[in-house]
Amino acid sequence: MRDNRCTVEITFARDDRGVSEVLAFVLVFGIILTSVAILSVTGFQAMDSYQESEQQQNADRAMQTLADNFNDVLRYDGLEERYGELTVRGGTVTVDGDGGPELDIEVDGNQLTDTDGFEHLENSGDSIPLGSLTYESGSDTISYEGGAVAREAESGGGLFLSDPKLQYNDDVAILSLVKIDGDRQSIQSDGSQGFSVSVKNRTSKLVKDDVEISVSGGDESEIWEDYLDEAHWNNEDMDRILITIVEVEIDY
């Protein structure tokens, strides 16, 4: 009788090696698939974050460029109109004469709107609404208001990308503001959109009295308040203040 024990043992050994090779292949293949899945998810997330950051920076630069162009009407007395373009990229641009912050400006204890030359600026109260041109795309909100460019945060507050045109030293100050007039209107576009700003009225006056400014209206008021506080604007030691307010309309 033949002894098959060796043959059986050899067969079992071969089966064990086969199972081990299959298990090893499955494990390695599983690790590869898991790694690819993780890399794909994190890679897409990183790409989305990069694209979102790039779009935000492009929107910031575009609005700052447009604002700098529009602010020429503040810099040059004889300039009555400026034109600029903004790449909207599917976002919404809104022009609102009642938007933006409202400034309450007092000259020697009296409202600026009661001062000669500025009476026509009075709205329903003593404050002056600056109006706004706002770009919104997703969670991004960037506004051109008073000559400044502000980015608003979803959680509230925000920061200035371009500061207001308020210059101050020990005893002299220059307050220059763009006031946007007109009804609220919005536009959406996937490409570039042209905008023109035209001057309706320009009022400028040198005063030799104390000036105090307070801000109200909307989330952006906090940004203005912080800026005025940090600039020590409400300083009673200022001897002379040049106040210039240019009223404009923005069309597209």
Report the pLDDT value the prediction gives residue 227, as an integer from 0 to 100: 86
Q: Residue 234 pLDDT > 50, yes or no?
A: yes
- The average confidence (pLDDT) of the chain is 80
Q: Please write the tens of the pLDDT for every residue from 113-148.
A: 777 777 777 665 678 889 999 998 877 789 999 999
Using DSSP's 3-state secondary structure scheme, residue 148 falls into: strand
Spatial separation of the C-alpha atoms in residues 125 and 127, rounded to whole Å: 6
Q: How far is 183 from 52, CA to CA, in rounded Å? A: 32
Q: What percent of the chain has pLDDT over 70?
A: 77
- Digit-coded pLDDT (tens) for 164-178: 998 877 677 888 999
Query: For the chain, which residues make up each domain, given as ranges?
Result: 54-251
Tens digits of residue pLDDT in 37-72:
776 666 656 555 555 667 677 788 889 999 999 999
Question: What does the block give as tokens for 49?
Answer: 């974050």
For residue 177, what are its two tokens? 């503001």
Does 251 score more than 90 pLDDT?
Answer: yes
